[in-house]
Amino acid sequence: MAKKNYNTTEDFLLDESFNNWSKENRLTDVDFWDEWIAYNPNKKEVMNEAKDIILGLQFKNSEPCEEKTNADWVVLESIIKAKKIENQKKQAPNYFRFIGIAASILLLVSLGIYTLTGNPIKVVYKTAFGEVLNLKLKDGSSVTLNSNSSIYYYENDNRKVWLTGEAFFEVDKKETTNAKFWVITDDLNIEVYGTSFNVDTKYEKTAVFLEEGRIWLALKNGTTKKMIPGNYLSYSAKENRVLDEKNNLKSHLKTSWKDGSIIFEKLFLKDAIKKIEETYGVKSVFKDEESKYKIITGAVPITNLDICLKAIEKSVSVRIEKINNQLIIKNRTEN
């Protein structure tokens, strides 16, 4: 490690153990260089300079949001398609001319009037807390939208939807055209051929559960994953990693909400209450620690909060008071 001379910043930068010292990756390297500095105080400045080059600066992401990128894509896509048709005329394209065209098309799309392909009007469905909505899309696919969720698509392309929240999809396979169906969330894109699956985008991650069929995920970090029935995957673009992955997950745990109930299977009450918070848009507070860790197993309704709370009260011996939008949970043996 210390056989050669270290004089310039380059000398240090090229050394792997020095890199480890800078990032505090390996204790042996940290110890080595800490001692080395002590014996070579005249090199301290250069070393710290090299260290700063390695560590650099951390910036916050100020890139445009997904919606903007998607909207811009829709416009570009229509330009490309139009050009394909126009290309029979064999014109040498003048790229700078499109600045004018692209600008006016952008304006028209945002007014929702028309573009070269037709009427890209945006269709939006939203559910409130405690509401479950069943939709049928133009191509025959059905979507069940869970509470506090929204879905939108552009009228000219109804096999591509954007989802925030949670939804269950039953997509028709298009035998004749083999046209793919796409679901787009903040974290990933799902490419679908005739299948049924659940997508959940709460808490800055997207979790996908495949009940039947085959789907391909294109994660926002560029990797792709194929899923088969029973697979469950949870990915966060923000953290740039797969959070959870399971095979053979039982369907009803992830999709029971479609039939109007949430199923708890040996959950801590605090986790079950969290689900209630998400579904009904309420906040909760526990008056004692013990209640948090009571174990609950069973089904509660998704569209009636009062019955839901009564069911929980009975099941695990707690008292739940509802004041405005807040739940107060107490152990029932005390009072």
User: Which residues make up the interface to other proteins (CB under 8 A)?
Assistant: 9-10, 23, 48-49, 51-53, 55-60, 62-64, 66, 69-70, 72-73, 75-77, 79-81, 83, 93, 95-96, 98-99, 102-103, 106, 180, 182, 189, 191, 218, 220-224
- As measured in angstroms, the least distance from the Cβ of 280 to other proteins is 34
- How far apart CA 93 and CA 280 sit, in angstroms, is 55
The CB-of-51 to other proteins minimum distance in angstroms stands at 7
Task: Write the DSSP string, 256-274.
Answer: GGGGTEEEEEEEEHHHHHH
Residue placing its CB nearer to other proteins in the complex, 67 or 155: 67
Closest contact distance (angstroms) between CB of 74 and other proteins is: 10
Least distance to other proteins, CB of residue 94, Å: 10
Q: Please, which residue, 24 or 265, has the CB nearer to other proteins?
A: 24
Distance CA 69, CA 8 (A): 44
Minimum distance from CB of 56 to other proteins (Å)? Answer: 4
CB of 76 to other proteins, least distance (A): 6
Q: Which residues of 38-57 are buried (b: 16+ CB within 10 A; e: fewer)?
A: eeeeebeebbeebbeeeeee
Q: Which of 149, 162, 214 has the alpha carbon at shortest distance from 188?
A: 162
Nearer to other proteins, 64 or 324 (CB): 64
Best CA proximity match to 206, nearest among 223, 229, 183, 227: 183
CA distance 204 to 221: 15
Task: Report the C-alpha gap between 328 and 142 in whole angstroms.
Answer: 38
d(CA 327, CA 331): 13
Q: Of 39 and 59, which has the nearer Cβ to other proteins?
A: 59
β-pairing, 241-246 vs 232-236, is antiparallel
- Find the shortest distance in angstroms from Cβ 242 to other proteins: 14
Nearer CB in complex with other proteins: 151/188? 188
Range list of H helices, 63-205: 66-86, 97-111
CA pair distance 149, 144, nearest whole angstrom: 10
**CA gap 300, 308 in Å, rounded:** 5
Please, what is the minimum distance in Å from the beta carbon of residue 52 to other proteins? 5
Are 331 and 318 in contact by the 8 Å Cβ rule? The answer is: yes
Which C-beta is closer to other proteins: that of 103 or that of 253?
103
